[in-house]
Amino acid sequence: MSNDTLLKPQKDTIPVENEAIPVDEPEKKKKKKKKHSEGAVEEKKKKRKYSEDGDADSKSEKKKKAKHADVEESQLTEAVDTSSKDGIKSKKEKKQKKSKSSEEPSPDQTVDSSSADKKEKKKRKRDEASNENVEASEHPVEKKTKKATKVENTTTESEITTFLTTNNITCTPSVTPYLTFAQLPIPDNLRAPLNQFPAPTPIQACAWPPALEGRDVVGIAETGSGKTFAFGIPALAKLISNPPSKDGVTTLVMAPTRELAMQTHDALEELGKPFGIGSVAVYGGAPKEAQIKMLRNAMRSKGNKVTTRIVVGTPGRILDLIGEGVCELGGVDYLVLDEADRMLDQGFENAIRQIISYTKKNEERQTMMFSATWPESIRRLASTFQRDPVRVTVGSEDLTANSRVEQSAEVFDDERSKDTRLLKHLRIILPNKMAGATHRVLVFALYKPEASRVAALLKREKYRVSELHGDMKQPARTAALEDFKTGRSNVLVATDVAARGLDIPDVGVVINYTFPLKIEDYVHRIGRTGRGGRSGKSITFFTGAAHEKSLAGEFARVLREGGYDNEELRSKFPMTIKKKEHSAYGAFFRDDIEMPVGRKKIVF
């Protein structure tokens, strides 16, 4: 190989003498330049080695070549060091150097100037966008929403003690009650409907604090104590704070009767109207189509002014709609069992347990349970589906009558005289039969035929009468109840379907034409009057026939506890019932059937 071939410049070699030091190049170009420079250094080292080994080179030429290679190495090393230092310098220094170097551009800068300009423009756009985001985060757009206002609870210990003692309230564990509506941490729009009342009822004052904190609550209180708002206000507060989700319905209320379900639905729908929160009532005896349409609305929240997020219904119809696949309860995180003891009495326990299994797990769900009593069946249900609940008891855990109701009992030797006595009472209570119903009268019969017969009797006497019983179709039942509420009729004859849960305003007197089958039903019947802090009156006809004789002792106890002892009742009927004992079953058998007679000897 000749010396000319060895000294001939390679294609990848960069002429160091004419190369300018790169200034303010992009990072990728700097790295590429650095690698290129390092490659040039290695190439020059190889050339020097080849030149030293050549046979035709003289010593002087070798020295010149070596000196020339050393100069190239030093210049290339400076170029590499300068490029690495430029990466550390600030942006201001880079811009200054760039402006100077633009006066005498290098060949490489001239070739890549267009691409560098494009990259610089993109960088400036990114910087401007980031600055806009910073300004937006420093000055966020304010939304016009009404915040929840709450007055600090300045209630003293003595005031709390007085309130709990006066109303005979027991809370386990202890609770600091809300004695005014202003103390509630809820939006003003939700508080507005409460301003028509003077103060929270005892069950509301003590149930709201734990419920609004998301805890499970068991409320035990007499009928007419304001339990609907006790669970309704926390339900709406939770729905307002959580926007509609894909889960659809998130609040479920179960009630024992269709009338109570409709009443609760109306109350919750009125509360949710300002917030676009809708409710649907599902119950038997009515067409499913309208109920299904509302349930489907729960899954289409976009574009709708009102979104169905609450379901109120009876266990039977709820279970029916679940089976048809139109009632999805997988998102329910707020569950209410209203009149829980009544639902268990009606045999709904298995249905209730099955429905709850379709909702969220216990630890993900808030469960509210309200009852007039605290029997073992309710305790068992609470222990299964609630997590460390707060138990609020207003009055006694045993069944007691409303203390604001004046009770009286009239004993009959002949039950045929009850019609005459009923008309006599109505002439006193409603002297003007056709006048507006300032005091409505609710007459309870035991069976449907009896209710129809009594209603016909009063209609013949020109009273404005409505009747309500299970044989009627749902539209007729709804119309009868509406007529009584609005005053178009001033007497309602009903069976025990109306004994619990119904909030009928201004019921002045309840007349028990026939005593109910259970003492619990008596307490709930007379609880239709004396509601909302008002006083009321009950009149009970008692004959001692059929089932009544065995209930005389319990009836006398309820009267005595209310301060209305009846001497005639105690003198005519036994106050204790001694159960008959059977040789095989002991005392645990029905005592209203005859003892089996002894075996007779058959003579053939």
489-523 pLDDT tens trace: 999 999 987 656 566 777 889 999 999 988 888 98
* Cα angle value 417/455/432 (rounded, 5°): 85
The type of residue at 287 is P
- Alpha-carbon torsion 112, 113, 116, 121, what sign? negative
What's the whole-number mean pLDDT along residues 395-402?
74
Percent residues over pLDDT 70 in the chain: 65
- Alpha-carbon torsion 191, 193, 195, 201, what sign? negative
Q: Are strands 366-371 and 440-444 parallel, antiparallel or unpaired?
A: unpaired
pLDDT at position 23 is 45
Q: Is 202 left (phi over 0), alpha (psi -120 to 50) or beta?
A: alpha
Distance CA 444, CA 446 (A): 7
Q: In the predicted model, is pLDDT for residue 75 greater than 60?
A: no
Distance CA 311, CA 335 (A): 10
Distance CA 285, CA 483 (A): 19
The type of residue at 21 is I
Mean pLDDT of the chain: 76
pLDDT at position 16 is 44
Q: How many CB atoms lie within 10 A of CB 172?
A: 11
pLDDT at position 249 is 87
What's the whole-number mean pLDDT along residues 212-229?
88
pLDDT at position 486 is 85
pLDDT at position 2 is 46
What's the whole-number mean pLDDT along residues 27-56?
50
Confidence of residue 137 (pLDDT cuts 50, 70, 90): very low
Confidence of residue 92 (pLDDT cuts 50, 70, 90): very low
The tens digit of pLDDT for each residue in 370-392 reads: 988 788 888 888 999 999 999 99
pLDDT at position 518 is 86
Distance CA 337, CA 238 (A): 17
In the block, residue with structure tokens 């060091």: 81
pLDDT at position 602 is 55
Q: In the predicted model, is pLDDT for residue 476 greater than 60?
A: yes
What are the helix and strand counts (H, E) for the chain? 21, 16
DSSP conformation letters of 114-146: HHHHHHHHHHHHHHHHHHHHHHHHHSPPPP---
Give the Å distances, CA to CA, from 78 to 16, 19, 66, 192, 247.
Answer: 11, 12, 19, 80, 68
pLDDT at position 411 is 92
Q: In the predicted model, is pLDDT for residue 244 greater than 90?
A: no
**Three-class DSSP labels, 238-280:** HHHHCCCCCCCCCEEEECCCHHHHHHHHHHHHHHHHHHCEEEE
pLDDT at position 128 is 59
pLDDT at position 603 is 53
Lowest mean pLDDT among 173-182, 419-428, 535-544, 586-595: 586-595
pLDDT at position 352 is 94
8 A C-beta contact, residue 233 and residue 190: yes
Lowest mean pLDDT among 252-266, 299-313, 317-331: 299-313
What strands, in cross-sheet order, belong to the sheet with 405-411?
Answer: 405-411, 536-542, 507-512, 440-444, 491-494, 465-468
Distance CA 543, CA 551 (A): 11
From 3.40.50.1370, 3.40.50.300, 3.40.30.10, 3.50.50.60, which CATH number describes the 156-394 domain?
A: 3.40.50.300
Helix (H) or strand (E) holding 40: helix 27-53
DSSP conformation letters of 49-117: HHHHH-SS--HHHHHHHHHHHHHHHHHHHHHHHHHHHHTTS-HHHHHHHHHHHTTS--HHHHHHHHHHH
pLDDT at position 105 is 47
**Residues, the chain:** 604
pLDDT at position 202 is 92
Contacts for 10 with CB less than 8 Å, ≥ 6 apart: 43
CATH annotation of 405-572 = 3.40.50.300
DSSP conformation letters of 176-196: ----SGGGS-EEHHHHGGGGG
Distance CA 492, CA 440 (A): 8
Distance CA 511, CA 505 (A): 16
The tens digit of pLDDT for each residue in 410-460 reads: 999 888 899 999 999 999 998 877 655 567 899 999 999 999 999 999 999
302-306, Cβ contacts within 8 angstroms, sequence gap of 24 or more: 304/276, 305/276, 306/273, 306/276, 306/277, 306/278
Q: Which residue has the higher pLDDT, 596 or 126?
A: 126
Helices (H), 347-473: 349-356, 376-385, 418-429, 448-460
pLDDT at position 103 is 47
- Alpha-carbon torsion 371, 375, 381, 382, what sign? positive
**Nearest Cα to 387, choosing from 353, 359, 354, 363?**
363
pLDDT at position 115 is 57
What's the whole-number mean pLDDT along residues 95-105?
48
For residue 433, report the phi and psi dihedrals to the nearest 5 degrees.
-60, -30
Helix (H) or strand (E) holding 295: helix 288-297
Ranges 18-32, 124-138, 171-185, 530-544, most confident? 171-185
Question: In the 8-state DSSP scheme, what is residue 589?
Answer: S
**Nearest Cα to 176, choosing from 140, 200, 195, 192?**
200
pLDDT at position 216 is 95
Give the Å distances, CA to CA, from 582 to 574, 588, 597.
Answer: 22, 8, 11
